[in-house]
Amino acid sequence: MRPRGTIHRRSRFSALVKETVIILVSALVLSFVVKTFLVQPFMIPSESMEDTLVAGDRVLVSKLTPGPFDLSRGDVVVFKDPGGWLDGVPASRADNMPTWLSTPLTVVGLRPQDAGEHLIKRVVGLPGDRVTCCTDAGLLTVNGVEIDETQYLASGALPSQTEFDVTVPSGSLWVLGDNRQHSGDSRYNGGKPGGGFVPLDNVVGVAFAKVWPLDRVALMRNPGDVFADVPAPTP
C-alpha cells in the first residue's frame, strides 16, 4: 500500500498541471480571438514610412477599421498586397526564429506579423476622391484642395517627383508612403492588378500605436487637420 502522503502529493501535482494547461490554452485562445477580431501586431520592414515609422518598429493595428469605424484620409493602414507590389522586394523577417516556432506564435498573435505579403502606407484618397500632383507650389491636391503634408512627410521629402491625376474608384484607396522618394506606393503600381489602387477588402486595419523599441513607444494619431478642408467627392 502506498503512503497517503505520496498519493496526496501526486494529486496536488496533477491538479497543478491541469490548471496550468487550462490557463495556457485559455490565454492562447484569447490571444487568437484578439488578433483575429480586434488588434494585431505588425513589423515595419522598410524605410518607406520614415520618419513616422522606421524599419524594425513594431506597431499595433486596430482591425475595427474599416468595419465598425470608417477609414479617414491620413490613416496609416496595413493591407495585403493587391498583386505585384512586393515583386522583387526581399522577404522580411522580424527575427531569426525558426518557422516551426514563429508560425504558431504569429497565428495566435504573440509575434508580430511579418510583412511578407503586407504593406503599410498612408491613406491620401478615399473612394471617389480626385488626387493630383503637383500644383505650381509643388503640393498634392485632394478634390481641388492643396494639402500641406509637412506634418508627416519625411525630412526633405517632396510630395511627389512623379505627376499623377487619378480618381479613386468605389471600394478602393489611394495610398502613399511618408518617405515619398523611397516608397513603392500607388504612384508606381498603375500597371499592376487594381491599377495602383488598394481594395478596401485588402485592408487589415489602422496602425494606432508604436510599441517597440521602447524608446519609440507612442500613440499614432490621425493628422485630421491636414485634410480638414477637403470637401466630399463630387458624385
Number of other CB atoms surrounding residue 112 within 10 Å: 23
Contacts of 92-101 spanning 24+ positions with Cβ under 8 A: 92/43, 92/45, 92/46, 92/116, 94/43, 94/58
Query: Which of 35, 46, 48, 210 is flagged as catalytic?
Result: 48
Active-site residue flag, 35: no
Query: Which of 121, 160, 172, 210 is flagged as catalytic?
Result: 121
Q: What dihedral angle (degrees, nearest 10) is formed by the CA atoms of 198, 130, 209, 119? A: 30
Active-site residue flag, 121: yes
Grid coordinates standing for 212? 517597440
Q: Please, are residues 38 and 64 in contact by the beta-carbon 8 Å criterion?
A: yes
Catalytic positions are 48, 121
